[in-house]
């Protein structure tokens, strides 16, 4: 097959600028051939190189005494959790593929993040996700939503990993460009950490897993382009096709092989496929690598070198094996009935060399390709719309006269409503390690002996005390849109607050930065300021960033998505007695509010950017609530101390929808069996705040607030401890009855729990009918 001539048009089609092409010629000392051009295209794409964001990412805190593998070192970060155990976790996006082919796009997003975890030597034990879609009234949005959820469920359920937590938001800014962010966490012992480096000159390089096809061609480059109707039609071939049963076999075989000690390096073939895995492993080790494509298993006839190198066919791994131990690879992969092929070897040249039937095809310096992509410092300019946002006041916004109706509407709003329609499609109980299922502030899983990969002797190693890992994922993208810096801080704070309410101490953070085109100075401003906010938040809670993903060019012809820096945070609970959930427990318990009832320094009283303002008044504007990270950290430490002291029965943070929605969720969110809610009412008295607007009091989203329930016999002990800890402690009501009643000096809210539970529980299912 004759390769096309390298023309300026072809270079542009590959997403490379004329300046980048000249840089490639300088590196090579010649013009690249067609396959080399494709390789530079994917490796220098934003998805692989972070060429527009790397300077910003350096601002993240990435160190702590518990970090064993830090951000950017490998496929996922690893954190020590004591007793010689560690956890590996990461979040990544599959946005554009999910927009084009929602089922396979989402499914292979799950498959890719699972591979990132077991590539580190860890056994994956749970998954979560963060999803964003347009308005559910749109038939196209419903199609995308249904396809994505089905794809996630298919891959996770078939693979056998519980999907234990997540979030779903709906906003018109995501029309045509949904966000699909997938997270996975795995467990291993310190000595089981695997590295993705091609160590050992002369060591053989093995390809393991299914044969390479034409699916997923140049997927990394596709993810680094604006999404248009035309590009979507052209790039359906860039969406991979996943096989979760195959991935399960590949994982088990890889973990078994790692236990033998025969592996010198291992890397999954994710974004950029064989290209990425070869050049990155060589670059990490400071070595070279040579492979011959004629030895690569291929499932399509007459595949070109370009297609083989850029294919993103799924469930494939590259393994560097210690010389002389090749038979162990062959034996184990034959046992699991999996394809394998010895395709190359490690060299001392520093070059990535690719041959086909012995003929030289590619000869590129590995480090130049993997680590030295051009870096851009983009222009940043404050968006013009922020001036109107800051001018917004509550003048002309009438106070609520129907608080009960407003509450029902908010509970039935898809962004706030129960996500049971989603998570009931996921198996969240497989492996029998899930302790707190979807539906509370944070999911919690138990690390048991069989959570670990086996050691060389075939055992799980020394016994250890069971540990409990809490996880949450959050981002209020409207806040970030209205104030990128404050919104970034709040995203981290809310995630940490969810962990605190569950009784967990944060260990680390992984983030997924979803933004529009960075060449737009206003978009880059959103990105830069939100990263500053995220970094400040992670420092405040001692939750360093261990890795993550950047996904840019998320926009359709009508404009960019709301800036969405998704934050997933992981925490540790040492004692199972300290595991706490959000729902009220017993009649007669006292309801306590920790934190200010309202921030009177905020001229919008917590209503700026609020769900109430969006839904009831149709306004997406106003300065979002402020957050003081020092006060927030004190609140989290205090809640954990009260939980540890044994005086807290339930804890729930106030976030979207404000105090009234949080109280309703405490009353209606417990499920004791399938379709069997446990509804328990509450009577709350807020009459002492008579001078405040009712809408702000009920639905304002002032930050740093947590609702507790406490036994009457423990109330004074809780109050004493809270005051010693410097917390604002206010008794506001009592648990009991079959209604939620909130008394105010200007208006009262009272509703039957069944009337609140129905719209909250069924809203999404009804919209999807």
**Is the residue at 688 inside a domain?**
yes
538-544 average pLDDT score: 98
**Is the residue at 477 inside a domain?**
no
CB 448 within 8 A of CB 466: yes
- In this predicted structure, the answer to whether residue 78 has a pLDDT above a threshold of 70 is yes
Q: Mind giving me the DSSP string for 225-240?
A: S---HHHHHHTGGGS-
Beta bridge mates, 710: 590
- Residue 557 binned pLDDT confidence (cut-offs 50, 70, 90): confident
Average pLDDT, the chain: 95
Q: Using one digit for the tens of pLDDT, what is the confidence trace for 634-678?
A: 999 999 999 999 999 999 999 999 999 999 999 999 999 888 999
pLDDT in the model for residue 228: 58
CB 249 within 8 A of CB 338: yes
pLDDT in the model for residue 431: 86
Strands (E), 288-335: 288-292, 317-321
- Other beta carbons less than 10 A from residue 700's beta carbon: 29
Give the least confident one: 229-233, 373-377, 425-429: 229-233
Is residue 170 packed enough to be buried (19+ CB in 10 Å), middle (13-18) or exposed (0-12)? buried
Q: Mind giving me the DSSP string for 727-743?
A: --EEEEEEE-SSEEEEE
Give the least confident one: 138-147, 214-223, 495-504, 604-613: 214-223
pLDDT in the model for residue 169: 98
Q: CB within 8 A of 296, min separation 6: which ones?
A: 207, 212, 274, 308, 341, 343
Q: CB within 8 A of 735, min separation 6: which ones?
A: 584, 585, 586, 587, 588, 589, 590, 591, 680, 681, 682, 709
Distance in angstroms (rounded) separating the CA atoms of residues 316 and 644: 45
The range of the structural domain enclosing residue 683 comes to: 580-769
CB 767 within 8 A of CB 139: no
Overall domain count for the chain: 1
CB 694 within 8 A of CB 745: no
Distance in angstroms (rounded) separating the CA atoms of residues 406 and 611: 11
**Is the residue at 353 inside a domain?**
no
- Residue 81 binned pLDDT confidence (cut-offs 50, 70, 90): very high
Distance in angstroms (rounded) separating the CA atoms of residues 508 and 497: 14
**Is the residue at 754 inside a domain?**
yes
Strands (E), 366-477: 434-436, 443-447, 467-474
pLDDT in the model for residue 673: 87
Which value, to the nearest 10 degrees, does the dihedral of the CA atoms of residues 487, 491, 497, 500 take? -150
pLDDT in the model for residue 225: 57
Distance in angstroms (rounded) separating the CA atoms of residues 290 and 282: 10
Strands 351-356 and 359-365: antiparallel
| Phi-psi sector, 556: left (phi>0), alpha (psi -120 to 50), beta | beta
- Other beta carbons less than 10 A from residue 261's beta carbon: 11
- Residue 746 binned pLDDT confidence (cut-offs 50, 70, 90): confident
Q: Using one digit for the tens of pLDDT, what is the confidence trace for 51-75?
A: 999 999 999 999 999 999 999 999 9
Give the three-state DSSP class for 169: strand
Q: Which of 587, 582, 759, 581 is nearest to 682 (CA)?
A: 587
Rounded to two decimals, the pTM is 0.95
CATH number at residue 596: 3.90.650.10
CB 376 within 8 A of CB 52: yes
pLDDT in the model for residue 238: 59
Strands (E), 252-325: 263-268, 288-292, 317-321
**Is the residue at 475 inside a domain?**
no
Beta bridge mates, 319: 206, 266
Distance in angstroms (rounded) separating the CA atoms of residues 223 and 180: 12
pLDDT in the model for residue 215: 80
Alpha helix segments (H runs only) across 119-199: 139-159
Q: Which of 544, 472, 470, 473 is nearest to 514 (CA)?
A: 473
Q: Using one digit for the tens of pLDDT, what is the confidence trace for 254-311?
A: 999 999 999 999 999 987 899 999 999 999 999 999 999 999 999 989 999 999 999 9
**Is the residue at 361 inside a domain?**
no
Q: Using one digit for the tens of pLDDT, what is the confidence trace for 203-258?
A: 999 999 999 998 877 544 545 556 555 555 555 555 778 899 999 999 999 999 99
- In this predicted structure, the answer to whether residue 565 has a pLDDT above a threshold of 90 is yes
Indicate which residues carry an active-site annotation: 47, 94
Distance in angstroms (rounded) separating the CA atoms of residues 304 and 3: 9
**Is the residue at 766 inside a domain?**
yes
pLDDT in the model for residue 331: 97
Distance in angstroms (rounded) separating the CA atoms of residues 176 and 166: 21
**Is the residue at 608 inside a domain?**
yes
pLDDT in the model for residue 212: 94
- Other beta carbons less than 10 A from residue 466's beta carbon: 13
């Amino acid at each position: 097959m004759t390769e096309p001539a390298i023309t300026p048009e072809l270079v542009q089609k590959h997403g490379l600028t004329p300046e980048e092409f000249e840089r490639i010629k300088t590196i090579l000392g010649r013009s690249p051939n067609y396959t080399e051009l494709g390789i530079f295209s994917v490796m220098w794409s934003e998805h692989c190189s972070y060429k527009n964001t790397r300077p910003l990412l350096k601002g993240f805190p990435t160190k702590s005494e518990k970090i064993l593998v830090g951000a950017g070192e490998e496929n996922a970060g690893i954190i020590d959790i004591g007793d010689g155990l560690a956890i590996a976790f990461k979040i990544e996006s599959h946005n554009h593929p999910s927009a084009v082919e929602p089922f396979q796009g989402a499914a292979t997003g799950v498959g890719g993040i699972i591979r990132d975890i077991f590539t580190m030597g860890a056994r994956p034990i749970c998954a979560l996700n963060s999803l964003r879609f347009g308005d559910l009234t749109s038939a196209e949005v419903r199609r995308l939503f249904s396809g994505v959820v089905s794809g996630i469920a298919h891959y996770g359920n078939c693979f056998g990993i519980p999907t234990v937590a997540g979030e779903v938001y709906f906003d018109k800014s995501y029309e045509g460009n949904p966000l699909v962010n997938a997270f996975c966490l795995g467990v291993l012992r310190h000595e089981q950490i695997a590295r993705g480096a091609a160590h050992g000159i002369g060591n053989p390089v093995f390809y393991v897993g299914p044969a390479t096809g034409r699916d997923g061609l140049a997927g990394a480059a596709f993810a680094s382009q604006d999404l248009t109707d035309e590009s979507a039609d052209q790039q359906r071939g860039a969406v991979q096709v996943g096989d979760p049963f195959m991935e399960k076999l590949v994982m088990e075989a890889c973990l078994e092989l790692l236990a033998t000690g025969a592996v010198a390096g291992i890397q999954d073939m994710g974004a950029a496929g064989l290209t990425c895995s070869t050049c990155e492993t060589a670059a990490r080790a400071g070595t070279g690598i040579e492979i011959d494509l004629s030895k690569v298993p291929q499932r399509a006839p007459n595949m070109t070198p370009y297609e083989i190198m850029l294919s993103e066919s799924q469930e494939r791994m590259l393994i560097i094996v210690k010389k002389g131990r090749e038979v162990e690879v062959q034996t184990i992969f034959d046992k699991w009935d999996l394809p394998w092929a010895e395709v190359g070897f490690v060299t001392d040249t520093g070059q990535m060399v690719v041959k086909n039937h012995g003929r030289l095809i590619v000869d590129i310096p590995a480090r130049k390709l993997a680590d030295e992509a051009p870096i851009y410092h983009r222009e940043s300019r404050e968006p013009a719309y922020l001036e109107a946002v800051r001018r917004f006041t509550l003048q002309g916004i009438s106070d609520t006269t129907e608080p009960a109706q407003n509450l029902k509407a908010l509970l039935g709003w898809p962004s706030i409503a129960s996500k049971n329609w989603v998570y009931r499609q996921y198996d969240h109980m497989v492996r029998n390690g899930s302790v707190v299922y979807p539906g509370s502030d944070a999911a919690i899983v138990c690390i048991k002996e069989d959570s670990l990969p086996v050691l060389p002797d075939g055992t799980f190693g020394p016994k250890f005390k069971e540990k409990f890992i809490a996880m949450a994922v959050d981002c209020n993208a409207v806040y970030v849109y209205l104030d990128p810096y404050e919104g970034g801080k709040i995203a981290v704070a809310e995630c940490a607050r969810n962990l605190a309410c569950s009784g967990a101490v944060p260990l680390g953070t992984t983030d997924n930065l979803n933004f529009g085109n960075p060449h737009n100075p206003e978009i880059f401003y959103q990105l830069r300021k939100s990263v500053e906010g995220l970094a400040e938040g992670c420092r405040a809670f001692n939750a360093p960033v261990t890795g993550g993903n950047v996904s840019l060019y998320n926009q359709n012809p009508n404009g960019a998505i709301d800036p969405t820096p998704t934050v997933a945070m992981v925490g540790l609970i040492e004692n199972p007695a300290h595991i706490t959930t959000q729902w009220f427990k017993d009649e007669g318990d006292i309801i306590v509010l920790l934190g200010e009832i309202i921030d009177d320094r905020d001229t919008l009283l917590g209503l700026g950017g609020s769900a109430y303002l969006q839904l009831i008044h149709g306004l997406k504007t106003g300065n979002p609530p402020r957050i003081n990270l020092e006060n927030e950290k004190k609140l989290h430490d205090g809640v954990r101390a009260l939980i540890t002291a044994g005086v807290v029965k339930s804890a729930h943070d106030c976030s979207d929808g404000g105090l009234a929605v949080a109280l309703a969720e405490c009353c209606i969110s417990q499920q004791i069996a399938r379709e069997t809610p446990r509804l328990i009412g509450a009577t709350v008295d807020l009459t002492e705040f008579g001078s405040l607007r009712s809408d702000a009091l009920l639905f304002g989203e002032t930050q740093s607030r947590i609702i507790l329930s406490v036994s009457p016999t423990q109330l004074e002990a809780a109050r004493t401890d809270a005051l010693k800890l410097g917390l604002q402690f206010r008794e506001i009501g009592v648990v009991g009855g079959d209604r939620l009643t909130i008394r105010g000096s200007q208006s009262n809210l009272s509703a039957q729990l069944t009337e609140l539970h129905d719209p909250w529980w069924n809203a999404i299912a009804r919209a999807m009918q």
